[in-house]
């Protein structure tokens, strides 16, 4: 977990770009929107490419030789790939603010902030031939397309799943209640100190999603669009959860260690951790709970001051190849942005996409930045800056 001072610095760095979202929820003024300018087709590659990504997103076979979509790219493009990882969207925004990055795999709770903060630039999809093969549900998604301008290329998507220990839960849990409510688990022991929560303000949406079913009288229509009263209920639930929580996780590797060595038996997680633990023969599985799930649809975005745009555009095209998309989905436990990647991939298998939740797309509440003026609440919603301040306080015990 980040030290409090470091965490505060990260959050403070978000205030300016978040404020720039204004009252229309992250839409930029089309009069000020820069045009997408791709490098000339015959431009010489710069020889290097710096990518900021979620852990497990950019693999070169160092963990498992079968999973390598970097080496061949480097051979074909002449661009050496350098990767920096981040464990949360807030950390990604902070690192993008610092610069020195060409591309970032941004989730929906950071992409509009990056656009509003002018940290990314539009992409010319006409210079990315494989864009035509992107899932129609993602091609013009609102977390990367503003007023018809594309600010990135879809990468992968998936749900935030409920990961659990199969020796404790001999029958799979079917509700997020096991991480939010105090209870005895099937092994007869309390869940206190044995569950985890995500280390990021966007997790407030997970509490709100649970309350949509638990307390329908609250009238929550969208977990990212909360009135003050609804928001207060979500915070109360999270304060209750604080007493149960072993740790707030953002480091995928550390979470796998906690499930292996620290007695943690249930938590929100990504399929990546599930796959990692199962590969290590740990008694781990996951479910898509009855309340549904939040999730992420990540977009590869180009930094406004990218030093290696030729290599960046080459990667944007490479990233959409069915082989890369399928291999990545197999490795991370995610879903590809290119539907044909679900077919004929040896690592993913014939039913890989279906097993990993391809049909759950419409049941996932994809991450996005909460804003003050929102569609479902005419009197306004609690904005992300407030979410950030309050969630830090909850993790600190307030």
Structural domain spans, the chain: 4-157+296-359, 159-294+370-395
Q: How do the pLDDT tens digits run along the chain, 398 residues long? A: 333 333 333 333 333 344 333 333 344 344 577 889 999 989 999 999 999 999 999 999 999 999 999 999 999 999 999 999 998 899 999 999 999 999 999 999 999 999 999 999 999 999 999 999 999 999 999 999 999 999 999 999 999 999 999 999 999 999 999 999 999 999 999 999 999 999 999 999 999 999 999 999 999 999 999 999 999 999 999 999 999 999 999 889 999 999 999 999 999 999 989 989 999 999 999 999 999 999 999 999 999 999 999 999 999 999 999 999 999 999 999 999 999 999 999 999 999 999 899 999 999 999 999 999 999 999 999 999 999 999 999 999 98
d(CA 49, CA 73): 11
- Under DSSP, the state recorded for 225 is B
Which homologous superfamily does the CATH classification assign to the domain defined by 4-157+296-359? Periplasmic binding protein-like II (3.40.190.10)
CATH code that applies to domain 159-294+370-395: 3.40.190.10
Residue burial 174-206, b: 16+ Cβ < 10 Å; e: rest: ebbbbbbeeeebeeeeebeebbbbbbbbbbbbb
Domains 4-157+296-359 and 159-294+370-395 share a fold: yes
- The pTM of the full predicted model, rounded to 2 decimals, is 0.85
- Under DSSP, the state recorded for 371 is -
- Under DSSP, the state recorded for 184 is B
């Amino acid at each position: 977990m980040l030290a409090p001072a470091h965490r505060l610095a990260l959050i403070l760095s978000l205030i300016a770009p978040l404020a720039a979202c204004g009252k229309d929820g992250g839409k930029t003024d089309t009069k000020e929107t820069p045009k997408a300018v791709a490098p000339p087709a015959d431009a010489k590659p710069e020889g290097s490419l710096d990518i900021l990504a979620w852990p497990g997103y950019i693999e070169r076979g160092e963990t498992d030789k079968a999973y390598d979509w970097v080496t061949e790219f480097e051979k074909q493009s002449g661009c050496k790939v350098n990767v920096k990882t981040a464990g949360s969207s807030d950390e990604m925004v902070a690192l993008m603010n610092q610069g020195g990055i060409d591309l970032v795999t941004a989730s929906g709770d950071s992409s509009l902030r990056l656009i509003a903060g002018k940290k990314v630039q539009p992409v010319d999809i006409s210079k990315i031939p494989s864009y035509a093969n992107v899932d129609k549900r993602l091609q013009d998604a609102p977390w990367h397309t503003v007023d018809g301008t594309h600010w990135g290329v879809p990468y992968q998507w998936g749900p935030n799943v409920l990961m659990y220990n199969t020796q404790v839960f001999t029958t799979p849990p079917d509700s997020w209640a096991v991480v939010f409510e105090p209870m005895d688990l099937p092994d007869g022991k309390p869940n206190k100190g044995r569950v985890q929560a995500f280390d990021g303000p966007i997790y407030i949406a997970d509490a709100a999603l649970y309350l949509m079913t638990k307390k329908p009288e609250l009238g929550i229509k969208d977990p990212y669009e909360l009135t003050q009263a609804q928001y207060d209920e979500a915070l109360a639930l999270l304060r209750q959860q604080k007493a149960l929580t072993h740790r707030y996780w953002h480091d995928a590797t550390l979470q796998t260690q906690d499930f292996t060595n620290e007695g943690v038996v249930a938590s929100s997680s990504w399929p990546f951790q599930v796959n990692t633990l199962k590969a290590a023969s740990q008694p781990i599985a996951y479910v898509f709970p009855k309340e549904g799930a939040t999730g992420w649809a990540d977009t590869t975005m180009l930094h406004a001051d990218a030093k290696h745009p030729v290599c960046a555009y080459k990667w944007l095209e490479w990233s959409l190849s069915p082989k890369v998309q399928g291999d990545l989905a197999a490795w991370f436990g995610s879903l590809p942005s290119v539907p044909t990647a679900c077919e004929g991939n040896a690592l993913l298998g014939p039913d890989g996409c279906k097993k990993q939740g391809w049909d759950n797309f419409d049941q996932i509440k994809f991450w996005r930045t909460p804003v003050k003026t929102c569609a479902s609440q005419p009197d306004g919603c609690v904005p992300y800056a407030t979410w950030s301040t309050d969630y830090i306080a909850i993790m600190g015990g307030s």
